[in-house]
């Protein structure tokens, strides 16, 4: 345990994330006051971890508030939605001006905007803070994305900065992302990117297995090559390697897992927000759709009836060459996923979220689920160019990556291997690099049935045509 820091933190909610964040805080020398609605949970926490730090257990919100020195900092780690409102409403009459309440759960950003305004009207401070890293990250150092005012951030910085992961640059993976609900907005987009990269990994696994016919040992070797490449190393590739190495008897455990993936909603929120803001994010949307469709067993069962009767043909490949082309394609797909996410964050300015993208890229370099070596050159590109739009990151895409991605999609299509997210990512890239898109046809059709007009390439002005001869 670290020496005492003279910093105090109240933690409400002792599920896995809340419990581990409380332990993290105590390990930095913080004085930690804990509360859980179910007293038995608090008692178990103290029995298991009470000797590991300076903890105080409380049985009521009032006890928690009284046990903390003013100005108080209270971290709420309960299930998103009504439980958060219940806690905030219970705390409000107990707090005094200058106290800060931080919601560290996966809250939908419009709820955070509402709560921010509610607390502000009561003369109290409120922050929404995205926390990423899973249970291990919460314990040893997550990436944290707070949103709110500079004044309030300076009140809580000494609490959260020591708890955050290192950013590999000498700093910590926590920074004020912007005003109001910016923190939860950024965390939502983080999760959308997470959906995309996870789906890309899953589909890549399927292509290696079903399209190229690789043995489990060989496809594991491909993922190990990706993981061990310093330019590609990431948390998700690390745990993919772990997953592929676990066996049950003579067979990989992965082969026994039902092919349905669940979701809690943050990916869907990201997709909906992208549509609302008019931002193209097909990789994220396809990843959400892939999870949804995986659960539609009736449709999938019916779809099996139109599959070819003949066995699927695999494409023979040289493993060494496949590894190199897969590396290039994977790098391209991940960069494109980040571009889509950053474009959503930039568009969030219209919602009042002015976010420092280089800082976001920096605090994602450690602790979080989407941490990746690729965020290094992304951060550097943002800073070097001063351009935070997706077009500044196009320079990070290589020709070999483009070729490799096109080949992956072509081979998957020919062999009938589903790759909804990878194909959507390629489509996004092709639209991005095309000299001319077929939207002239769309606009002409709109003008035909709805007199929506169109613009021309050869003259200025807005035009309408009576298309029927």
Enumerate the known binding-site residues for NADP(+): 13-18, 36-38, 78-80, 106
For residue 57, the cross-strand partners are 34
Q: Which of 69, 68, 180 is nearest to 127 (CA)?
A: 180
Q: Which of 292, 357, 338 is nearest to 193 (CA)?
A: 338
Cβ atoms of 464 and 447 within 8 Å: the answer is yes
Which of these is catalytic: 4, 66, 117, 194?
A: 194
Question: Could you give phi then psi for residue 126, rounded to 5 degrees?
Answer: -140, 140
Cα separations (Å) of 91 from 8, 34, 42, 88, 332? Answer: 17, 14, 18, 5, 47
Q: What is the dihedral of CA 381, 133, 138, 100, to 10 degrees?
A: 60
Q: Residue 264 and residue 273: Cα distance in Å, rounded?
A: 16
For residue 314, the cross-strand partners are none
Residues annotated within the binding site are 13-18, 36-38, 78-80, 106, 132-134, 190-191, 195, 264, 291, 446, 452
Which of these is catalytic: 63, 172, 187, 248?
A: 187
Q: Residue 360 and residue 338: Cα distance in Å, rounded?
A: 11
Residues annotated within the binding site for substrate are 106, 132-134, 190-191, 195, 264, 291, 446, 452
Active site annotation includes 194: yes
For residue 9, the cross-strand partners are 32
Q: Residue 78 and residue 13: Cα distance in Å, rounded?
A: 5
Q: How far apart are the first and last CA of the chain?
A: 83
Cβ atoms of 428 and 284 within 8 Å: the answer is no
**Catalytic residue numbers, as ranges:** 187, 194
């Amino acid at each position: 345990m670290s020496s005492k820091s003279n910093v105090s933190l109240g933690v409400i909610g002792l599920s896995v994330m809340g419990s581990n964040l409380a332990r993290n805080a105590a390990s930095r020398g913080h004085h930690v006051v804990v509360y859980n609605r179910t007293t038995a949970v608090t008692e178990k926490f103290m029995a298991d971890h009470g000797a590991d730090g300076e903890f105080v257990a409380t049985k009521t919100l009032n006890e928690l508030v009284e046990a903390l020195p003013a100005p108080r900092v209270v971290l709420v780690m309960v299930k998103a939605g009504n439980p958060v409102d219940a806690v905030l409403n219970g705390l409000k009459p107990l707090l005094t001006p200058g106290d800060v309440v931080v919601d560290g759960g996966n809250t939908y950003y419009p709820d955070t905007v509402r709560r921010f305004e509610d607390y502000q009207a009561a003369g109290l401070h409120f922050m929404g803070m995205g926390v990423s890293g899973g249970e291990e990250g919460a314990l040893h150092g997550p990436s944290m994305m707070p949103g709110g005012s500079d004044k309030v951030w300076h009140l809580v910085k000494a609490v959260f900065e020591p708890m955050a992961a290192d950013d590999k640059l000498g700093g910590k993976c926590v920074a004020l992302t912007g005003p109001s609900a910016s923190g939860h907005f950024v965390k939502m987009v983080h999760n959308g990117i997470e959906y995309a990269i996870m789906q890309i990994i899953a589909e890549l696994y399927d292509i290696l297995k079903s399209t190229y016919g690789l043995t489990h040992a060989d496809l594991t070797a491909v993922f190990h090559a990706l993981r061990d490449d310093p330019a590609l190393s990431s948390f998700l590739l690390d745990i993919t390697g772990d997953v592929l190495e676990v066996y049950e008897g003579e067979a990989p455990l992965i082969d026994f897992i039902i092919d349905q993936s669940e979701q809690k909603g943050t990916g869907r929120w990201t997709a909906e927000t992208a549509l609302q803001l008019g931002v193209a994010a097909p990789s994220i949307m396809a990843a959400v759709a892939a999870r949804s469709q995986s659960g539609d067993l009736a449709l999938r069962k019916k779809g099996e009836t139109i599959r070819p009767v003949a066995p699927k043909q695999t494409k023979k490949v040289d493993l060494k060459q496949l590894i190199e082309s897969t590396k290039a394609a994977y790098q391209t797909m991940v960069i494109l996923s980040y571009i889509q996410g950053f474009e959503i964050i930039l568009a969030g300015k219209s919602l009042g979220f002015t976010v420092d993208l280089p800082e976001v890229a920096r605090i994602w370099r450690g602790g979080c689920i989407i941490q990746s070596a690729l965020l290094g050159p992304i951060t550097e590109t943002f800073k070097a160019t001063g351009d935070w739009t997706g077009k500044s990151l196009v320079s990070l895409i290589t020709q070999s990556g483009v070729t490799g991605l096109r080949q992956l999609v072509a081979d998957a299509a020919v062999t009938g291997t589903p790759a909804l997210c990878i194909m959507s990512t390629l489509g996004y890239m092709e639209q991005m690099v095309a000299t001319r898109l077929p939207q002239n046809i769309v606009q002409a059709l709109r003008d035909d049935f709805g007199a929506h007009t169109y613009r021309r390439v050869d003259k200025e002005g807005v035009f309408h045509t009576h298309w029927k001869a």
